[in-house]
A and B are shown apart, each in its own frame.
Chain A
Amino acid sequence: MTAVQKSPAETATDAAVEFRGVSRVFGETRALDGLDLALRRGELLALLGPSGCGKTTALRLLAGFDRPTSGEIRIDGRDVTGVPASKRDTGMVFQAYSLFPTMTAAENVAFGLRMRKVGGAERGRRAAELLELVGLGDRGGSYPHELSGGQQQRVALARALAVRPSVLLLDEPLSALDARVRVQLRDEIRRLQLAEGITTLFVTHDQSEALAVADRVAVLNAGRMEQVDVPQEVYARPATPFVAEFVGVMNTVPVSGGRITPGAAETTQVRPEALLVGAPDGLAGTVLTSTFLGPVTRLVIRTEVGELTADAVTRPGLPAIGEHTTVQISG
């Protein structure tokens, strides 16, 4: 059902970036193990996985900071495997603190153009334009240490975009920011990416971030690709148990005729929000924990078939910890 891998030939025509059988071995560990992945032109693909899964390795291989042990990498159909980072035409936004500290925001943004021998006046114009685009039109003369973390990342984004790269690389650009700024900047990145129509590889370990902004999500585990698909599919129909566990919470229950049935041979996977708490014909259980999450309350309920996690719409009368209740697949 879910296309775990598309064969390179299938996507070669519209692929902006392609990994073909790329492996990277560090000593004894295989950080990447035969990665096949194609980014379509103009899409934002989130590379999602736990730390140490190889996602950062993949990004650094694409940027040219590292060479693959085997396999090849193509940008716009051109093999760039042996091309140095400075000639790859990628724009990268790092985790944090990547702005050049002795240059103003505007000078930072203009740096790539300076390396491309663009004239001073044109550089200034383009830098101002991009700072305007990221909402920092009035901070061009500020030094990085005078900007907040979120502003610094905006400048870094403007800097990466200034050279009109063929692909934008985002290496956990939000991970060092406060929660509120993180969501704000996340949405802004998506808005800019759509407006500029730039092919983007977004590396993150945060599944909610990946699901929120990506056209497609690629889930990586232990150097291998687990699933590549649109967020809705990855969430609703995880291809492997790993994806099911990593992307959100998943209950595995025995079913018969679409109802939880203890002892049934068939099992299925159910998201917490698909479980109905207090269902009349539900399975009996005891509430172990109850976590108020705002609009919903997450309950962990011990039942005959194991501990189940269920999200109930917050309302008066929800069972409290230690109380008995019932639970069933809704609908």
Chain B
Amino acid sequence: MSSLLDTPTAAPDAPAARPERRWRAALGLLPFALYFLVFLGGPLYFVISGAFTDADGRPTLGNLVASLMSPQYLLAFRQSLLLSAVTAVIGAVFGTFLAQAVLTARPRSPLRRTVSTASGVLAYFGGVPLAFAFIAALGQTGLATAWLRSAGIDLYASGFRIDSLTGLALTYVYFQIPLMVILITPALEGLLPQWREAAENLGASAWSYWRLVALPVLAPAFAGATLVLFGNAFAAYATALALTSGSIPLVPTAIASALSGNVLVGQANVGLALGLDMVVVIAIVMVAYLWLQRRAARWSRR
């Protein structure tokens, strides 16, 4: 093991001169790569192979066709895409404002610590606690519902339900904003103070600075982060499961009910086909994200 680091001072390109050594060093990455392959690649493999076979194991395209043609699944896709897009955009815009508001505070201030740690918890906790918090706030007997009623606004009389698409969107934003704060903060920190000062010095107003200097620099990172938020909402299921127990047609709900086998025999493979559809959507999003990441990196090269 120790011999692997005999030339630690070598420049990144130097080991290329000794390919066999580079090969041995690459072994250090093997556990990570293998784990990824087995426990992420494995399930994905069975999703893909299952999507193309019928219940008896014969190859077929029927599952995919069914997953893309049935009206119930089309509705699920439409709802899922709408929910993901809307919450991604809201989360991205507000998350950026929040991140910038927090960044203008001193680096070790309680505000910054609070927001950065809370972002971590809220972005990754997701699911169950979130659903219950929103039921407690905006459910029939929730506290916020009661406050609003005493202020003369009766949510439920106007048709609102927490287990509706609107209620779900409101809940999703609760983890989308913190995720945006986490993703966009490095890009905001990358805005150098001398850019703002140079712009001011040349006669630019704050608005001109943001429009002509800061936003173009941020644009790729912002768009990339928005795509991750989209994927995040598209993939999310726990919140919907806990909040609505599956009453809103979303793609994950459709997959879960197809898998539970209480519909028809052979539906499990349609569930896998739906899973493949989801993966394809997300793969497209990821490719776009990676392309934007590379663009974003261009500005930071000096």
Residues on A close to B: CB < 8 A?
63-65, 84-88, 90-92, 94-95, 97-102, 111-112, 114-116, 145, 156, 159-160, 163, 169
**0/1 interface trace, chain B 193-212, chain A, CB 8 Å (1 if under):** 01101111111110010001
* Distance in Å: Cβ of A155 to nearest Cβ of chain B: 11
- The CA of A4 and the CA of B203, in the complex, are separated in Å by 35
Q: List 18 A-B contacts (CB under 8 A).
A: A65-B200, A86-B200, A86-B201, A86-B204, A88-B201, A91-B202, A97-B194, A98-B192, A98-B195, A98-B198, A100-B212, A100-B217, A101-B299, A111-B212, A112-B202, A115-B204, A156-B198, A159-B202
- B199 near A111 with CB under 8 A, answer yes
Given A100-B213, A115-B208: A145 touches B203 (CB 8 Å cut-off): no
Q: Which residues of B are found within 8 Å of A85, using beta-carbon distances? A: 197, 200-201
- The CA of A63 and the CA of B202, in the complex, are separated in Å by 10
* Distance in Å: Cβ of B16 to nearest Cβ of chain A: 24
* Distance in Å: Cβ of B25 to nearest Cβ of chain A: 30
Q: Which residues of A are found within 8 Å of B113, using beta-carbon distances? A: none
Given A97-B192, A101-B299: A86 touches B203 (CB 8 Å cut-off): yes
Q: Which residues of B are found within 8 Å of A97, using beta-carbon distances? A: 192, 194, 302
- A163 near B198 with CB under 8 A, answer no
Q: Which residues of A are found within 8 Å of B198, using beta-carbon distances? A: 92, 94, 98-100, 156, 159
Q: Which residue on chain B has the smallest CB distance to residue A117? A: B203
- B201 near A91 with CB under 8 A, answer yes
Residues on B close to A: CB < 8 A?
192, 194-195, 197-205, 208, 212-213, 216-217, 298-299, 301-302
Q: Which 6 A-B pairs have the closest CB atoms?
A: A112-B202, A115-B203, A102-B216, A98-B194, A85-B200, A101-B299
* Distance in Å: Cβ of A240 to nearest Cβ of chain B: 33
* Distance in Å: Cβ of B200 to nearest Cβ of chain A: 4
- The CA of A176 and the CA of B115, in the complex, are separated in Å by 35
- The CA of A159 and the CA of B203, in the complex, are separated in Å by 12
- The CA of A90 and the CA of B198, in the complex, are separated in Å by 10
* Distance in Å: Cβ of A175 to nearest Cβ of chain B: 13
* Distance in Å: Cβ of B102 to nearest Cβ of chain A: 22
The SS class assigned to the B binding surface is: helix
Q: Which residue on chain B has the smallest CB distance to residue A169? A: B201
Q: Which residues of B are found within 8 Å of A163, using beta-carbon distances? A: 202-203
Q: Which residues of B are found within 8 Å of A94, using beta-carbon distances? A: 194, 197-198
Q: Which residues of A are found within 8 Å of B213, using beta-carbon distances? A: 100, 102
Q: Which residues of A are found within 8 Å of B192, using beta-carbon distances? A: 97-98
- A112 near B203 with CB under 8 A, answer yes
- B194 near A63 with CB under 8 A, answer no
- A90 near B201 with CB under 8 A, answer yes
Q: Which residue on chain B has the smallest CB distance to residue A143? A: B298
* Distance in Å: Cβ of B169 to nearest Cβ of chain A: 33
- The CA of A74 and the CA of B18, in the complex, are separated in Å by 64
- A145 near B194 with CB under 8 A, answer no
Q: Which residues of B are found within 8 Å of A156, using beta-carbon distances? A: 198
Q: Which residue on chain B has the smallest CB distance to residue A92? A: B201
Q: Which residues of B are found within 8 Å of A102, using beta-carbon distances? A: 213, 216-217, 299
* Distance in Å: Cβ of A284 to nearest Cβ of chain B: 48
Which of B192, B201, B208 has the most chain A CB atoms closer than 10 A to its own CB?
A: B201
* Distance in Å: Cβ of A252 to nearest Cβ of chain B: 41
* Distance in Å: Cβ of B161 to nearest Cβ of chain A: 45
- 20 extra A-B contacts, CB within 8 A, seeds A65-B200, A90-B201: A63-B201, A65-B197, A84-B200, A86-B200, A86-B201, A86-B203, A87-B203, A94-B194, A94-B198, A99-B198, A100-B195, A100-B217, A101-B299, A102-B299, A111-B199, A111-B204, A112-B202, A159-B198, A160-B201, A163-B203
Q: Which residues of A are found within 8 Å of B205, using beta-carbon distances? A: 86
Q: Which residues of A are found within 8 Å of B212, using beta-carbon distances? A: 100, 111, 114
Q: Which residues of B are found within 8 Å of A114, using beta-carbon distances? A: 212
- The CA of A37 and the CA of B203, in the complex, are separated in Å by 25
- The CA of A92 and the CA of B202, in the complex, are separated in Å by 8
Which of A90, A98, A156 has the most chain B CB atoms closer than 10 A to its own CB?
A: A98
* Distance in Å: Cβ of B220 to nearest Cβ of chain A: 10
- The CA of A90 and the CA of B202, in the complex, are separated in Å by 8
Q: Which residues of A are found within 8 Å of B202, using beta-carbon distances? A: 86, 91, 111-112, 115, 159, 163
Which of B195, B198, B199, B302 has the most chain A CB atoms closer than 10 A to its own CB?
A: B198
- The CA of A99 and the CA of B198, in the complex, are separated in Å by 8
* Distance in Å: Cβ of A156 to nearest Cβ of chain B: 8
* Distance in Å: Cβ of B165 to nearest Cβ of chain A: 38
* Distance in Å: Cβ of B206 to nearest Cβ of chain A: 9
Which of B194, B212, B302 has the most chain A CB atoms closer than 10 A to its own CB?
A: B194
- The CA of A95 and the CA of B193, in the complex, are separated in Å by 12
Q: Which residues of A are found within 8 Å of B195, using beta-carbon distances? A: 98, 100
* Distance in Å: Cβ of A145 to nearest Cβ of chain B: 5
Q: Which residue on chain B has the smallest CB distance to residue A88? A: B201
- The CA of A94 and the CA of B197, in the complex, are separated in Å by 9
Q: Which residues of B are found within 8 Å of A63, using beta-carbon distances? A: 197, 201
- The CA of A98 and the CA of B192, in the complex, are separated in Å by 8
